[in-house]
């Protein structure tokens, strides 16, 4: 059988910028590998790759287009994986597949479907079968049963037969992950994408039971880690085939078993690999961190979740916040980067609890010893969590799309989502002590404030008694008085600082500059596989490219930001603060995360401003009369077209 497995379409938060991260789905390539060993053919379809290739767009035709692209692979069966955050995309795409090929068997698996098998199968008839839990030990018999057309006796699945929901027991957790074959990485375009880092399935399960997290229900709180020897073999294999030596060890909580982690460190040390993992701060210590660092660990993800002891207790995360500062400092001192992730929106969270979280976040802006990524997320109701069991009758829907949720694309998406709250639970929200608007504002404004970067945030906080909660309060107060939406965007940040300090104030200028630079970096993430079309010699309409932006009337921001990054610089010379310039910002050709700037003279500002709209040759005849400057020579336009500052109209990056 030729089975096409379909990955999720979702963004991820990487260093404060939402991107499509292109990596093979570890569960699906594991299943493909098992199927291949049994003589079947397994393909992996990743919609993110197709978006980055420019073959799919985030528009109202997306679901139909994904279905068409899957059919073009001529499958005998299709298997969707599922996460709650984008299940609307999965369900609708499967619906279009069913419409186009009613005879094509469609499987569904993954955490969301495992927990919600009954309601999904009885609501969305496009799915023939849900394969529950970890599926390596069952997938072959499921696929073979698709050929036979009967699911009776197949372990670990749910299906509907003659209108009745049925579920077969079986497929418990895989006790020894070492028995699994090496996942089918060859089914992902690793070389085409030029991937220099790969995710590796290190193990599964977490013994803790935080009330907001569904891991415990999916993996039965059973922590398992592949043996050090097996993991080393897996890394060696990927290194030999793809030349990759940087790995992201995927596991809910890699460091639960100290002894096993030390064994892993021993096994990989000296092989020239670098690796990242996730940890609880109370599941590491100085000695372990030093050992991890020595064996190649470069980055650790710490889920902190709340800055108040009270919420730590209520959410059963039970992390001792007293170790936060020390653990983070040790991690950074050893030269590792870190991500610390926080949540707001808990039902019981008070203003004091939220302030404590914001203050802890604010304290992180002082720590740029090594790269630190500080995330703040809006609590999402997840199926299979204790929190949802407690509040399931009180959840509500208002259409807000959080950073964890997929946007609505088709006209009826919102109606479908609100009609089936149990299935689309992730799009809903819990009742809470704090107003919903406050949660939306805090989490959306945070995404944009974060783009200002630590040096500027530190500088700005000086105006707010060095307290991040004070800044957020001032902004929330301002937006309420102005009657602005709680859904904050870049303009909210720009307008707040403009109103507060005056548009020509150096802080407002620095904020505008950094917002634009971050926006360019965000756009660059989708550029991966696009190739800018260059002029074809006809008369092209040119416009300022989506890789560039103008920032006008601001101080010499890069010089000031450099001073602000240097802790020893106590003040900024006043003439540096008072002079104003016009800048063209542009993504560097060499490093997509790097933005370069050019100071512009007035005629260049006029020319680039004119190019906000697409202009053809004839338009330039009126340039001088409308701007007062002579039209730029053709070489000027061609040079900037070649540099990517200008583009042929219509050839923009997805935003
Ligand atoms: C890596 C990871 C991610 C990655 C990639 C996820 C992915 N695989 O697509 C990223 C960083 C993108 C991610 C993001 C999120 N994640 Co996440 N993530 C994980 C993590 C830690 C590992 C996933 C993994 O590789 N597992 C190992 C593989 C082998 O298992 P698997 O993917 O589940 O696949 C097996 C089975 O599920 C099944 N299966 C899966 N699909 C299919 C399909 C078919 C047809 C069949 C037959 C079987 C099958 O067979 C596979 C092999 O056994 C898991 C926890 C965990 N340990 O699994 C959480 C987990 C999947 N994430 C979860 C969540 C909630 C999220 C987020 C929504 C946010 C959050 N609160 O953490 C975000 C949302 C995305 C966004 N918009 O930003 C939940 C999912 C809950 C749910 N019901 O949807 C999990 C279970 C953890 C948890 N905290 O509860 N995540
Ligand atoms: S939040 Fe982290 S520690 Fe808590 S149950 Fe989930 S994976 Fe385990």
Instruction: CATH number of the domain at 623, please.
Output: 3.90.930
**Mean pLDDT across 631-646:** 90
Cα 215 to ligand 2 centroid, rounded to whole Å:
7
- Whether ligand 1 lies within 6 angstroms of the CB of 25 is answered as yes
Chosen domain end from 355, 379, 403: 379
One domain for residues 373 and 268: yes
**Mean pLDDT across 182-202:** 97
**Mean pLDDT across 62-89:** 97
Q: Which helix (H) or strand (E) holds 549?
A: strand 548-554
**Mean pLDDT across 205-213:** 93
**Ligand nearest to the Cα of 312, by number:** 2
Cα 595 to ligand 1 centroid, rounded to whole Å:
33
Is 444 a member of any domain? no
One domain for residues 330 and 248: yes
Q: Give residue 644's pLDDT band: very low, low, confident or very high (50, 70, 90).
A: confident
One domain for residues 235 and 362: yes
Is 54 a member of any domain? yes
Burial (CB count <10 Å: 0-12, 13-18, 19+), residue 638: middle
**Ligand nearest to the Cα of 206, by number:** 2
Is 524 a member of any domain? no
Q: Which helix (H) or strand (E) holds 141?
A: helix 139-148
Q: Give residue 163's pLDDT band: very low, low, confident or very high (50, 70, 90).
A: very high
One domain for residues 335 and 221: yes
User: Which residue's alpha carbon is nearest to atom 3 within ligand 2?
Assistant: 208
Contact between 205 and 224 (Cβ < 8 Å): yes
Q: Give residue 655's pLDDT band: very low, low, confident or very high (50, 70, 90).
A: very low
CA dist 272 to 255, 275, 542, Å?
A: 21, 10, 47
One domain for residues 58 and 131: yes
Cα 83 to ligand 1 centroid, rounded to whole Å:
7
**Mean pLDDT across 226-250:** 98
Per-residue pLDDT, 527: 55
> Mean pLDDT over all residues of the chain?
92
Chosen domain end from 149, 168, 187: 168
Per-residue pLDDT, 533: 41
pLDDT tens sequence across 296-349: 999 999 999 999 999 999 999 999 999 999 999 999 999 999 999 999 999 999
The ligand 1 atom nearest the CA atom of 206: 57
**Mean pLDDT across 524-544:** 60
Handedness of CA 432, 435, 438, 444 (dihedral sign): positive
Q: Which residues line ligand 2 (CB under 6 A)?
A: 206, 208-210, 213, 215-216, 252-253, 280, 303, 317
The ligand 2 atom nearest the CA atom of 213: 6
For a ligand 1 pocket test, name from 1, 27, 97 the mutation site with the most ligand atoms within 8 angstroms of its C-beta.
27
Q: How far is CA 43 from the centre of its chain?
A: 24
Is 140 a member of any domain? yes
pLDDT tens sequence across 395-448: 999 999 888 788 889 999 999 999 999 999 999 999 999 999 999 999 999 999
Cα 13 to ligand 1 centroid, rounded to whole Å:
15
Per-residue pLDDT, 539: 61
Is 484 a member of any domain? no
3-state class (DSSP) for residue 506: helix
Residue 5 forms beta bridges with which residues?
44, 79
- Whether ligand 1 lies within 6 angstroms of the CB of 11 is answered as yes
Contact between 402 and 377 (Cβ < 8 Å): yes
Per-residue pLDDT, 532: 42
User: Which residue's alpha carbon is nearest to atom 31 within ligand 1?
Assistant: 27
User: Which residue's alpha carbon is nearest to atom 7 within ligand 1?
Assistant: 25
Q: Give residue 362's pLDDT band: very low, low, confident or very high (50, 70, 90).
A: very high
One domain for residues 137 and 249: no
User: Which residue's alpha carbon is nearest to atom 30 within ligand 1?
Assistant: 27
One domain for residues 155 and 248: no
Cα 304 to ligand 2 centroid, rounded to whole Å:
10
Q: Is the pLDDT of residue 531 over 60?
A: no
The ligand 2 atom nearest the CA atom of 214: 6
Q: Is the pLDDT of residue 521 over 90?
A: no
As a whole number of angstroms, the distance between CA 573 and CA 444 comes to: 34
As a whole number of angstroms, the distance between CA 463 and CA 188 comes to: 49
Is 555 a member of any domain? yes
User: What is the tally of structural domains in the chain?
Assistant: 3
pLDDT tens sequence across 383-398: 999 999 999 999 999 9
> How do strand 224-225 and strand 203-204 relate by DSSP bridges?
antiparallel
The domain that holds 270 is classified in CATH as 3.20.20.70
Cα 504 to ligand 2 centroid, rounded to whole Å:
47
The ligand 1 atom nearest the CA atom of 13: 78
Q: Is the pLDDT of residue 78 over 50?
A: yes
Residue 146, φ and ψ in degrees, nearest 5: -65, -35
**Ligand nearest to the Cα of 108, by number:** 1
Cα 118 to ligand 2 centroid, rounded to whole Å:
26
Contact between 301 and 331 (Cβ < 8 Å): no
Q: Give residue 14's pLDDT band: very low, low, confident or very high (50, 70, 90).
A: low
**Mean pLDDT across 202-227:** 87
Chosen domain end from 379, 395, 423: 379
For a ligand 1 pocket test, name from 70, 76, 83, 114 the mutation site with the most ligand atoms within 8 angstroms of its C-beta.
83
**Ligand nearest to the Cα of 219, by number:** 1
Tell me the two tokens of residue 29. Answer: 């390539």
One domain for residues 201 and 164: no
Per-residue pLDDT, 654: 40
One domain for residues 227 and 115: no
**Ligand nearest to the Cα of 84, by number:** 1
> How many residues in total does the chain contain?
655
One domain for residues 295 and 219: yes
pLDDT tens sequence across 483-497: 999 999 999 999 999
For a ligand 1 pocket test, name from 8, 12, 81 the mutation site with the most ligand atoms within 8 angstroms of its C-beta.
81
**Mean pLDDT across 73-101:** 97
Is 178 a member of any domain? no
pLDDT tens sequence across 100-109: 999 999 999 9
The ligand 1 atom nearest the CA atom of 278: 21
Residue 282 DSSP class: G
Instruction: Report, in angstroms and rounded to the nearest whole number, the Rg of the chain calculated over CA atoms.
Output: 26
Per-residue pLDDT, 215: 85
Domain that residue 588 falls in: 529-648
Contact between 276 and 247 (Cβ < 8 Å): yes
The ligand 2 atom nearest the CA atom of 280: 3
As a whole number of angstroms, the distance between CA 46 and CA 80 comes to: 11
Q: Is the pLDDT of residue 147 over 60?
A: yes
One domain for residues 160 and 200: no
Contact between 594 and 587 (Cβ < 8 Å): yes
User: Which residue's alpha carbon is nearest to atom 70 within ligand 1?
Assistant: 404
Is 237 a member of any domain? yes
One domain for residues 212 and 314: yes
pLDDT tens sequence across 98-131: 999 999 999 999 999 999 999 999 999 999 999 9
């Amino acid at each position: 059988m030729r089975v096409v497995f379909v990955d999720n379409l979702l963004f991820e938060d990487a260093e404060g910028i939402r991107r499509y991260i292109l990596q093979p789905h570890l569960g699906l390539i594991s299943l493909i590998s098992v199927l291949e060993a049994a003589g079947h053919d397994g393909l992996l379809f990743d919609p993110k790759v197709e978006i980055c290739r420019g073959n799919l767009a985030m528009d109202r035709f997306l679901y139909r287009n994904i279905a068409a692209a899957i059919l073009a692979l001529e499958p005998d069966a299709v298997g969707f994986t599922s996460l709650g955050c984008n299940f609307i995309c999965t369900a609708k795409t499967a619906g279009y597949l069913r419409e186009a090929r009613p005879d094509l068997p469609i499987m569904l698996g993954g955490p969301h479907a495992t927990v919600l098998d009954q309601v999904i199968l009885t609501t969305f008839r496009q799915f023939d079968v849900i394969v529950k839990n970890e599926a390596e030990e069952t997938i072959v018999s499921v696929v073979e049963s698709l050929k036979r057309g009967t699911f009776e006796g197949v372990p670990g699945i749910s299906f509907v037969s003659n209108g009745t929901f049925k579920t077969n027991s079986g497929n418990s957790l895989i006790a020894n992950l070492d028995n699994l074959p090496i996942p089918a990485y060859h089914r992902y375009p690793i070389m085409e994408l030029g991937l220099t880092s790969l995710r590796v399935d290190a193990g599964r399960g977490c013994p803790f039971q935080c009330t907001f997290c569904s891991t415990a229900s999916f993996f039965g709180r059973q922590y398992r880690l592949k043996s050090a020897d097996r993991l080393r073999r897996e890394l060696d294999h990927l290194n030999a085939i793809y030349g990759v030596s940087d790995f992201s060890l995927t596991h809910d909580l890699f460091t639960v078993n100290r002894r096993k982690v030390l064994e892993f460190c021993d096994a990989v040390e000296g092989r020239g690999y670098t690796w990242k993992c996730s940890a609880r701060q109370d599941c590491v210590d100085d000695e372990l961190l030093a050992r991890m660092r020595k064996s190649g660990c470069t980055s650790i993800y710490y889920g902190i979740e709340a800055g108040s002891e009270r919420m730590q207790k209520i959410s059963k995360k039970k992390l001792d916040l007293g170790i936060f500062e020390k653990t983070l400092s040790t991690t950074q001192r050893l030269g590792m980067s870190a991500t610390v992730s926080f949540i707001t929106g808990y039902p019981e969270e008070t203003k004091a609890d939220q302030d404590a979280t914001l203050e802890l976040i604010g304290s992180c802006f002082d720590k740029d010893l090594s790269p630190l990524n500080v995330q703040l997320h809006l609590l999402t109701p997840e199926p299979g969590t204790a929190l949802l069991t407690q509040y399931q009758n009180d959840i509500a829907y208002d259409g807000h799309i959080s950073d964890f949720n997929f946007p609505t694309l088709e006209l009826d998406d919102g109606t479908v989502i609100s009609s089936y709250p149990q299935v689309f639970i992730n799009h809903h929200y819990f009742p809470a002590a704090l107003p919903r608007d406050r949660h939306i504002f805090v989490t959306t404004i945070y995404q944009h404030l974060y783009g200002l970067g630590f040096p500027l945030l530190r500088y700005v906080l000086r105006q707010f008694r060095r307290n991040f909660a004070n800044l957020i309060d001032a902004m929330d107060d301002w937006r309420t008085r102005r009657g602005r939406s709680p859904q904050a965007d870049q303009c909210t940040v720009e307008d707040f600082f403009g109103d507060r300090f005056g548009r020509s104030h150096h802080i407002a200028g620095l904020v505008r500059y950094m917002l634009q630079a971050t926006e360019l970096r965000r756009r660059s993430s989708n550029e991966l596989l696009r190739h800018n079309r260059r002029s074809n010699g006809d008369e092209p309409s040119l416009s300022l490219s989506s890789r560039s932006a103008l920032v006008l009337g601001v101080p010499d921001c890069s010089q000031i930001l450099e001073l602000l990054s240097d802790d020893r610089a106590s003040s900024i010379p006043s003439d540096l603060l008072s002079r104003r310039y016009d800048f063209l910002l542009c993504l560097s050709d060499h490093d997509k995360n790097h933005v370069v700037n050019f100071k512009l003279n007035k005629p260049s500002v006029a020319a680039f401003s004119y190019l906000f709209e697409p202009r053809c040759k004839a338009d330039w005849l009126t340039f001088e009369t409308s701007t007062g400057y002579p039209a730029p020579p053709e070489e000027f336009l061609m040079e900037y077209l070649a540099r990517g500052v200008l583009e042929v109209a219509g050839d923009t990056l997805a935003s």
